[in-house]
């Protein structure tokens, strides 16, 4: 069904805009008139995206209108505002309309208008969200569906907002810890590249003209500079080939398994990766269970946050084991991949019937460990990278200045 973007006025004279699903422009105007909107402008919203195509599904139209994901912080704010409106007694369609009207981003405005239209036509909120998979992940849709079935949508939206905020904060900490080393490496590589490719060749010309006996350090630097100058294209092609080959290799199941195995066995990266994944796994699973989602569907949804294929396979095996009547802790322990703390907390939660709070506690613990570990890594990397860059710069300075001192002595 085509999607039409409209602009119009209500009976009170308020200007509104949004999108509406209809078979034709006439049908769109009729549908809007029934809701009290007098159309002043109407265009087919996905005409450009569907040009040359005979038809387009509603889900495809949604993806054409909303190509970029909503950041976790913005999704949290949207969930909290929707929960507040529903708790205040506002009808769902009116709440969605209010959020659409106040959104400053056109893509969000259109997406919310489409969700409102689907709900107005009789769809559940979860199904309306599911039509926008690039915005609302499957676990978000599953929690909303559980909230609707349990008549606790406001509480679930509040929990989703808290979950999204925690995820955004956790991701920000990880990225923040890695930003400084990455910037240092890029700046250092840029400075070295400029010196080796431009400054050193200029100085080497002077040395060749004066026929000075060069020190070993200077010979090494000039040889390295000449290699980069003569073979830079081959070197760049080799690096690009390695990157493309690596990306192609890990896109295959076998290559991905080898890569994930190597990551888990790496001395420092492995334990940190396991803590990050366990924190996400415990937080997401605890949130789903506390929102009323059953354990098996929750484990199916939580696989999306487990980025390591080995750990994801272990979660899938535990799901099948639970279906056969076994406990989750027992199956996860048999994989030998998950840390003992997570296994023991899950075992205690299963025995006591308090699995959700146990998962929340273990998630808090691992998030704290990851934050502490990343802070330690940053504290160590900063002086190490500074010393390495200083050593490289001192080497280059000595390699250039020593022949200059020799020239001065010869002149004297």
Residue 159 within a domain: no
> Are 367 and 321 in the same domain?
yes
> Are 73 and 171 in the same domain?
no
Contact status, residue 152 vs residue 60, Cβ threshold 8 Å: no
> Are 132 and 224 in the same domain?
no
Looking at the chain, the whole-number percentage of residues with pLDDT higher than 90 is: 2
Residue 81 within a domain: yes
- Phi, psi (5° rounding) for residue 371? -60, -45
> What are the angstrom distances between the C-alpha of 178 and each of 280, 380, 389?
19, 12, 18
> Are 43 and 109 in the same domain?
yes
> Are 255 and 108 in the same domain?
no
Distance separating alpha carbons of residues 87 and 362, to the nearest angstrom: 31
Q: Which segments of 211-326 does DSSP mark as H helices, in order?
A: 216-250, 253-265, 269-290, 295-302, 309-323
> Are 170 and 123 in the same domain?
no
The helix (run of H) or strand (run of E) holding residue 38 is: strand 37-44
- Phi, psi (5° rounding) for residue 149? -70, -30
> Are 249 and 318 in the same domain?
yes
> Are 220 and 104 in the same domain?
no
Residue 149 within a domain: no
> Are 286 and 394 in the same domain?
yes
Q: What mean pLDDT do residues 57-63 have?
A: 38
Domain harbouring 108, CATH code: 1.20.81.30
> Taking Cα atoms as reference points, which of 326, 324, 374, 369 lies closest to residue 350?
326
Residue 36 within a domain: yes
> Are 349 and 290 in the same domain?
yes
**What digits encode the pLDDT tens for the residues 197-234?**
777 777 777 766 666 677 788 788 888 878 877 888 89
Q: Which segments of 195-215 does DSSP mark as H helices, in order?
A: 200-210
Residue 142 within a domain: no
- Specify the range with the lowest mean pLDDT, choosing from 50-64, 158-172, 198-212, 279-293: 50-64
In the chain, how many domains are there? 2
> Are 206 and 121 in the same domain?
no
Which are the contacts of 345, defined by CB distance < 8 A and separation ≥ 6?
358, 359, 361, 362
Which are the contacts of 17, defined by CB distance < 8 A and separation ≥ 6?
5, 6, 7, 8, 109
Residue 158 within a domain: no
**What digits encode the pLDDT tens for the residues 314-358?**
888 888 888 887 788 888 888 888 888 889 998 898 888 888 889
Residue 224 within a domain: yes
Q: Find which of 25-39, 101-115, 159-173, 255-269 is predicted with most confidence, using mean pLDDT.
A: 255-269
Owning domain of residue 67: 3-136
Between these two residues, 278 and 210, which has the higher pLDDT value? Answer: 278
Answer yes or no: is pLDDT of 292 > 80.
no
- Specify the range with the lowest mean pLDDT, choosing from 18-27, 39-48, 342-351: 39-48
> Are 178 and 54 in the same domain?
no
Residue 211 within a domain: yes
């Amino acid at each position: 069904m085509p999607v039409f973007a409209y602009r119009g006025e209500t009976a009170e004279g308020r200007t509104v805009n949004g999108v509406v699903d209809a078979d034709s422009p006439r049908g769109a105007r009729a549908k809007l008139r029934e809701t009290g909107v007098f159309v002043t402008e109407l265009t087919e919203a996905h005409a450009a995206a569907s040009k040359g195509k005979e038809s387009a599904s509603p889900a495809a139209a949604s993806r054409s209108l909303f190509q970029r994901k909503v950041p976790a912080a913005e999704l949290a704010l949207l969930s909290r505002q929707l929960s507040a409106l529903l708790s205040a007694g506002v009808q769902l369609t009116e709440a969605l309309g209010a959020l659409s009207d106040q959104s400053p981003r056109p893509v969000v405005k259109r997406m919310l208008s489409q969700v409102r239209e689907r709900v107005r036509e009789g769809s559940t909120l979860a199904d309306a969200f599911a039509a926008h998979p690039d915005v609302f992940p499957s676990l978000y849709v599953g929690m909303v569906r559980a909230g609707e079935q349990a008549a606790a949508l406001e509480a679930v939206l509040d929990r989703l907002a808290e979950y999204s905020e925690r995820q955004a904060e956790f991701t920000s900490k990880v990225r923040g810890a890695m930003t400084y080393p990455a910037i240092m490496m890029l700046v250092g590589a840029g400075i070295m590249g400029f010196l080796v490719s431009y400054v050193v060749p200029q100085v080497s010309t002077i040395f060749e003209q004066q026929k000075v006996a060069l020190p070993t350090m200077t010979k090494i630097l000039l040889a390295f500079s000449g290699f980069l100058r003569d073979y830079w294209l081959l070197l760049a092609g080799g690096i690009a080939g390695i990157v493309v080959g690596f990306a192609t290799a890990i896109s295959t199941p076998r290559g991905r398994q080898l890569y994930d195995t190597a990551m888990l066995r790496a001395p420092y990266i492995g334990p940190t990766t396991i803590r990050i994944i366990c924190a996400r796994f415990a937080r997401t699973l605890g949130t789903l269970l506390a929102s009323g989602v059953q354990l098996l569907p929750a484990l199916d949804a939580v696989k999306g946050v487990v980025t390591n294929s080995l750990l994801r396979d272990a979660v899938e095996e535990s799901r099948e084991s639970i279906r056969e009547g076994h406990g989750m802790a027992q199956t996860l322990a048999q994989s030998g991949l998950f840390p003992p703390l997570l296994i023991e907390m899950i075992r205690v939660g299963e025995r006591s019937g308090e699995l959700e709070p146990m998962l929340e506690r273990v998630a808090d613990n691992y998030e704290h460990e990851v934050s502490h570990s990343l802070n330690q890594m940053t504290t160590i990397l900063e002086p190490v990278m500074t010393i390495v860059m200083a050593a490289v710069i001192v080497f280059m300075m000595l390699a250039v200045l020593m022949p200059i001192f020799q020239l001065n002595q010869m002149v004297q």
